[in-house]
Amino acid sequence: MSSQTAATEPIHVESVEQFEELTSEGIVLVDYYADWCGPCKMLEPTVEALAAEEEDLTVLKVDVDAFQGLAQDAGVRGIPALQFYANGEPAERLVGVQEKENLQRVLASLR
């Protein structure tokens, strides 16, 4: 495992620099969301469970209203959007509410 320790709960991104640092190594799942988004709220327990259960996964939450530039740079057009990163490189992207098993399949493919 890298020097970065995965958190057991999602990390709310507070700056572009923090985002860049946390996505630079290991396997990272970025949840692009908005507080007003119903499907985002439906997805939240799934994302939280994944963060708690997967030891080698870092989960970030990016509020698209607060960080429009990050969302735009990532090509996010609809939310919720889930972007996986592997060792600093964008890997798989999923849009919409997802089952935990589907996210675990993607995670397994990146390991």
Choose the catalytic residue: 11, 27, 30, 40: 40
Q: CA–CA separation, 66 vs 64, rounded Å?
A: 5
Please spell the DSSP secondary structure of 21-81, one letter per residue. Answer: HHTSSSEEEEEEE-TT-HHHHHHHHHHHHHHHH-TTEEEEEEETTT-HHHHHHTT--SSSE
Q: Is 43 annotated as catalytic?
A: no
Q: Is 40 annotated as catalytic?
A: yes
Choose the catalytic residue: 37, 52, 95, 110: 37
Residues belonging to the active site: 37, 40
